[in-house]
Structure 1
Amino acid sequence: MAAVFVHVSDIHFGQERGGVKFVHDDVKKQVLADAAREVAGTTEQKAAGILVTGDIAYSGQHAEYKEAGAWLDKLAEVICCKNTDVHVVPGNHDIDREQISQSVGFLLSRVLDEGEGALDEILDNDIDREIFYKRFKEYRPFAEGYNCSLDKDGNLKGKPPIELAPGRSLRFVGFNSALICSKRKDEEGKLLLGARQRVLQVEDGEELVVLAHHPLHWLQDSEQAKRYLRNRARVFISGHEHKPRVHVDPVKAGCDLMMIASGAMVPPTATEEYKYTYNIITFDWDADSDDLLVTVKPREWRDEDKAFRDAPEQLDGNGPTFKLACPNYYTAKPTCPVPTHQARGDETSDAPGPESAEEESVINDDYAPLLLRYFRDLLPAQRIIVLVKLKALPDDWSEPLSHAMERGIVDRLAATGRLNDLGRAMDDLANDNNGNGGAA
C-alpha cells in the first residue's frame, strides 16, 4: 500500500517581525489548504505522516515550538493522519544560542579541535551529554513528544517502519546534522555526524529513508557518510540551503540512492530564487520489479496568484515518479511478515518490555498521543508535578532529573500498564490550571 507524506522544511517559526508576520501566517494557512486538497486527490486520500527536515523554529525558543506544534496538529488533521505521525530532525535554527555557556562552548571547541574522539567521550558521559544538549533545551522535549529522541548516539530513533507490502517496508532514520552547531557562521564543511550516526544498519526487506537538515557537503565526515548512504540508504532528504532539487544517484547495478534537497516552506524573505515551497512525497512498491517507487510533487508559491502551484521544474525534467533499485528488497522474500510496530529501546530504562507483539501494538497506539502531550505540551515544572502525583519518582530522588532519566520513567509507566494513570494525571493538571485561570 502506498504511503503519502507531506514534507516541509525550514519553517522558521518565530522569525517574523512587523507586517511580515501577516504574510507568513497566510502562507502557512495556504499550505494547510493546499496540502489537504493535494492529499485528498491521491489514490490513498489520506497521508501516512509528515516529514520535517529541520529549522522548525527560528531561535530554539519555547513559544516557537508551541506555535509549531499547533500548526503541525492542524496539518495532520487536514491530511487525515495522526498528529503523532510526524518525523522531525533539528536544524541550526533549532538550537538556542543563548544556552551556549562557557562550559558548552568548551565542549564544542573540543569536538572542533579533536574530532570524533572528543564527540564520543562527550556522548558517553551522562553529565557532559546533558551539558552538550543544552543548546536543544526547547527542541528536545518537542521532538521527544514525536518519539524522535536525541539519544546517546547523537541521532534520532523510535519510529516503527512503514509497511508498503508484506515483507516490504520503509524505515525513517534521522540524522542530527546540527549536533555541533554553535554561534559560528562559517560552519560549512565543519559539522560532524560521527560514526554513531552515519553507520546505518539495514535489514532484508527494509529500505531506509534518511532525514537530515544539512546537505552532506556541510559535514567534515561527508565522504564517510556518503559511502554509508550510497550503499545502505535508498532516499536522503535534506534542507537548509533553500534550493530544491531531486537527483537519483545510480550507485551500482541493483542499487540507487535518491537525493531530495528541500526548498524552504517559509524562507526569511521570499524572492524569485527563494520561494515558499513544500513537497508531497509518495512511496510505493513495484511488485513487478521489486523496486521502490517514489513520486515527488513539489508545490511552489506563485506570487502573482498568491497560491501554491505545481513546480515540475524542480525535478530537472525527470520524474515525477522515480523507480529505485532496492538491494534490501531483492534479498528478502516478499511474503515475509513485516512488523508494523517496534519496541522503543531506551538505554536509561530497565523496565520490562511488552510480553507479546499484540501487547506491544496496544502500548504503542495508546502511548504515542500521551507521549506527545506529556513532552511537547507540558512545561518542565508541570511534568514534575505529574510524575510526583503518580509517585513515579524514586523515594530517595534528590538529583537533577535529566531528560534521558525522565523519558525512562515515562517509558516505565507505559510498560507497567499505567498509561491511563498518566492520562488522568495530565487531565487533572489541565483542570487545575483552568480552574486557576489559565494553562501553560
Structure 2
Amino acid sequence: MSDIHFRKSEIVTAQDPNLHLRNELIRDVRRQCQQLGPPDAVIVSGDIAFAGDPDEFTFATEWIAKLCEACGCPMDEVFVVPGNHDVVRHTAGQNLVQMIHQQIKRSDDPNSEIARQLRDPLAGRLLYESLGNYNQFALQFFCDLLPPNRTSAKRDLKLNDGSILRLWGLNTALVSSSYDRRNDLFVDPASLQITREDGVVNLVVAHHHLSWLRQARGLEDHLNDVAPIQIFGHVHTNRIDLNRDYVRLTASAANPDRREGGWEPGYNLVEVLVNNVSGTRKLDISAHVRVWQTAPGGFQAKMDRTSSVFRHSIDLDPWSPPLERLYPPASPDGLSEAMVEVMASPIEGGAAMNTLREVGLRFYGLSFSKKSEIAGRLLLLEDEDIGQPDHERFRRAFFRAHERGQLDELAKAVHAAEQEA
C-alpha cells in the first residue's frame, strides 16, 4: 500500500475523516488474507506520515501493528520507503539544504553531482536531515537510510522454488521539499546500479512515480532490465502495466485527500509464484487490486475486464537450487552477511521468534532514555558514534551486540525494560 498520510491534526480527534475508511481497510485485508493466506511481507511505498512528525510515525507504528495482526504477517516483515510527506519540510527548506538541492537541479550531470554531494559528510548529513524522524521510524524495520553507502533498503524473501525475491527500496525524496515539482526529483546514482543475480528476482519499491523524476528515462530503462516487479505510489491513481519483461504497479493512496478528483482509496495484494513450464522457469504474478466503492461503501475488486485478478507471466533465466547455497542473502541496509543470517535466526537461549528484527521492534518501542541506558550499560556505544543521528547510533549498537556475542543479553535487557514499563 502507499500514501497512508497520517495527519497529526486528525488522527487523535473524534473528527478524523479516515477512521471508518482505515477500519474498513483492515476488515477487508483480514477477509482477503483468510482466503489467500498470510502475506510474507507488507510493503508501504512512502508517505506514511503527512508532515514527518514523530507523533504521526508513532501512530503509523500502532496502525501497522493492527494491519499485520489482521493479515497474519509478522510485523518484522514490514518493508518501507520514504515519500515526500515523510520529509520535515521546514528542515528541507533551510538555506544550506536548498543550496545543495539547487546545485543538483542545475547540474548538467545530476548523477555525478549527487554522488559528489553524498561523499561530502556535511552535505550528506544535510540532505538526509529532513528524513530524521522517518529514519527513527524505519529503524524498527531495518529500512533506515544513511549516506553515502546506505541509500536504499534491501530485504530477501524466499520464493516457492528456493530462489530469492529481493526487495529494493529506493529513496525518491532525496531532494524533496515544499518546492517539489514534477520531473524535478531524483534518486541517487546507486539506484541505477541494481544488479541481476542467478536465482534472484528483483522487486523495486519507490514512492514517486517515474514521471516525477528527472532521471525517468534512464531509471526506467534500468529497472525494465533488472526488476520484473516495480511498485510506485504518490500519484494516488491505481495502474498496472503488463510488459513482456516486467509488471509495474502504481498504487492507489490508502488515504487520499477527500478533495481530490477521482477520490479512490485502495491497496493491492500481490501473489508471486515461480513455475516450470516445459523446462522454462516463469514468474507468475497475480495482482488483487482493492478499491473503495461508495453507496454502498466497501472495498471491491478492480476488474481486468471479466476477471477480478490481473495475471501476468514473465520468463526467467534457467536456475536450479544448488546443493549448498552459492550466494548470500542481500545485506539489508548495509548489514554484514553474518548479520543477515542472525536476523533470520532465533537468538540462542531465546524464544523461537526472538530474532534480531523482533528485538529491534521491541527496542524501538522503548523511550529514548531507556534505549540509551541499555546501549550504554552493555557498552554498545563507542566514541566514533558521537555526532551520528540517533537511529544510526542504535543501529550500530545492534551490530556490536552481534559481533560481541551479546544478542541474548540485549534481548533480556529489552524484555526487562518492557516489564518495568
Under a length normalisation based on structure 2, what TM-score does the superposition of the two structures give?
0.87
User: Which consecutive unaligned segments of at least 5 residues does structure 1 have?
Assistant: 1-7, 251-255, 435-440
Go from structure 1 to structure 2 and tell me whether the alpha carbon gap of 1:284 and 1:353 turns closer, same or farther (over 3 Å shift). Answer: closer
Classify 1:157/1:336 alpha carbon distance in 2 versus 1 (closer, same or farther; 3 Å). Answer: farther
1:142-157 → structure 2 map (5 Å cutoff): 142-151=137-146, 152-153=148-149, 155-157=151-153
Q: Indicate conservation of the 8 Å contact 1:59/1:94, yes or no.
A: yes
User: What is the SS of the residue equivalent to 1:155?
Assistant: coil
User: What is the total number of aligned residue pairs between the two structures?
Assistant: 408
Please say if 1:214 is aligned against 2:202.
no
Q: Is the Cα–Cα contact under 8 Å of residues 11 and 264 in structure 1 kept in the other structure?
A: yes
**Structure 2: tracts of 5 or more residues without a match:** 348-352
Query: Which secondary structure state, in structure 1, belongs to the residue aligned with residue 142 of structure 2?
Result: coil
Structure 1 16/37 Cα, relative in aligned 2: closer, same or farther at 3 Å? farther
Aligned pairs for 1:9-88 (under 5 A) are: 9-14=2-7, 17=10, 21-42=15-36, 45-88=37-80
Task: Give the match for residue 363 of structure 2.
Answer: 374
Report SS of the residue matched to 1:193. Answer: coil
Match of 2:298 among 307, 314, 320: 307
1:342 aligns with 2:338: no
SS at match of 2:204: strand
3-state SS of 1:34 partner:
helix
The match for 2:345 among 361, 372, 382 is 361
SS at match of 2:196: coil
Distance in 2 between residues matched to 1:235 and 1:206, nearest whole Å: 12
Query: For residues 109 and 359 of structure 1, what CA distance do their matches in structure 2 show?
Result: 40
Find the counterpart in structure 2 of residue 261 from structure 1: 250
Which deviations, in whole Å up to 9, do the C-alpha atoms of 1:5-48 show, x marking residues without a partner? xxx11110116649884431111111111101101112xx2211
Higher RCO (C-alpha 8 Å, min separation 6): 1
C-alpha separation between the residues in 2 aligned to 1:388 and 1:141? 19
Partner-residue secondary structure (3-state), 1:171: strand
- The 1:102–1:336 alpha-carbon spacing in structure 2 relative to 1, beyond 3 Å, is farther
Instruction: Measure, in 2, the Cα distance between the counterparts of 1:124 and 1:158.
Output: 21
Matched, 1:97 2:110: no
SS in 2 for 1:41: helix
For the residues of structure 2 that align with 1:287 and 1:40, how far apart are their CA atoms? 27
- Cα 1:139–1:316 change in 2 (3 A) is farther
Do the aligned residues in 2 keep the contact of 1:154 with 1:176 (CA within 8 Å)?
Answer: no
Superposed CA RMSD in Å reads 2.9
Q: Does 1:401 align with 2:408?
A: no
The one of 128, 133, 140 equivalent to 1:138 is 133
Structure 1 residue 199 and structure 2 residue 187: aligned?
no
Q: Secondary structure at the match of 2:392?
A: helix
Which range is displaced more, 14-23 or 417-426?
Answer: 14-23
- Who is 1:224 aligned against? 218
Aligned to 1:5: none
TM-superposition CA deviations, 1:254-310 (whole Å, max 9, x none): xx1111111111101166712111111111112224111111111111221222111
Does 2:273 align with 1:280?
no
- Tell me whether 1:127 sits opposite 2:122 in the alignment: yes
SS at match of 2:75: coil
Report deviation, 1:339.
8.4
Over 3 Å counting, the alpha-carbon distance change for 1:56 and 1:409 in structure 2 is: same
Deviations 1:155-198 (A, max 9, x none): 323422332213x321111111111111204x211111132112
What is the percent sequence identity of the aligned residues?
22
The verdict on how the C-alpha distance between 1:339 and 1:419 changes in structure 2, with shifts beyond 3 A counting, is farther
Q: Is the 8 A contact 1:298 1:310 kept in 2?
A: yes
